[in-house]
Amino acid sequence: MSLPTPTPFKINVPPSLLSFIHQRVSTARIPSGSIHPPGEEWAYGPPPSVMEHLKEYWSQKYDWRAVEARINSHLKMFTLPIKEGTEEIEMHFVHHRSDREGAIPLLFQHGWPGSFLEVDKIIDLLTQSSDPNAQAYHVVAPSLPGFTFSSAPKSPSFDLQNIAAINNTLMQALGYSKYMVQGGDWGCMIARVMAIDYPENCLAVHVNMVPAALPVWYKNPLSLLQFIAWAVWTGGDKQGLLGRMISKAQNPKQSPTPSPTPPSEC
């Protein structure tokens, strides 16, 4: 299968979008908050003083163009259209080749809610380590479909197998018929699928998140009981916190969504 040559890519956020974001931040309303005893200022979320400081920083001091220039100068980025089933994804990726002999192709897959920038601080260590005896790598760090500068699939059924297939095609297009994969969070799931679906190409996998199944009751009854107790103890709090974060702000009038009305008040 022949693919077009990757196109060099530079980040260039439109000025109109930057102006829109700046306006949203600079006009954000910070609620007055409640008075808490010393040491409990964070009991109900970030104190207003902290949020005011962040608002000032993001609206008056943060320089996106400087960050954009640094990313563009440090990371070699490309795009490549890849077909998978009925979809065609414009894949954005970082690609740094090492000049060291014996360098191993490595696909570095970020997770959710991460981005290709997860590889920024380590890519030089992987490709050009200061230790001449350290293993070197040719690093490919794609953006997940729909993340940052990769286009999004149109079908909601686009799954792990599809992403794994696209990643494998990308590695083949770059000349890496055999490679290893590093994945964290969602990237962990994708790395596992790549190892299963493409064992002749994906020769090794390293993950920094390990999903685990429930303990089998007849093999580990104590572990299962501990898990159940932990789930009961934390489940209600987590579910309640999630619901409140989605629907309420610290001050109801600041919430982006209306506060629900209890049935008794309808």
| 75-207: CATH, from 3.30.1330.10, 3.40.50.1820, 3.40.50.10800, 1.10.1740.10 | 3.40.50.1820
Of the candidates 263, 82, 107, which has an alpha carbon nearest to the alpha carbon of residue 165?
A: 82
> How confident is the prediction along the chain (266 residues), in pLDDT tens digits per residue?
577 899 999 999 999 999 999 999 999 999 886 777 888 888 878 888 899 999 999 999 999 999 999 999 999 999 999 999 999 999 999 999 999 999 999 999 999 889 999 999 999 999 999 998 999 999 999 999 999 999 999 999 999 999 999 999 999 999 999 999 999 899 999 999 999 999 999 999 999 988 777 667 677 788 778 878 877 777 666 566 555 555 554 444 444 444 444 444 44
The one-letter amino acid at 265: E
Q: Of the candidates 117, 205, 130, which has an alpha carbon nearest to the alpha carbon of residue 167?
A: 205
pTM of this structure: 0.79
Q: How many CA atoms lie within 13 A of 237 on its CB side?
A: 5
Q: Where are the domains of the chain?
A: 7-32+40-66, 75-207
What is the SS3 assignment for 73-95?
HHCCEEEEEEEECCEEEEEEEEE
Confidence at residue 263, expressed as pLDDT on a 0 to 100 scale: 42
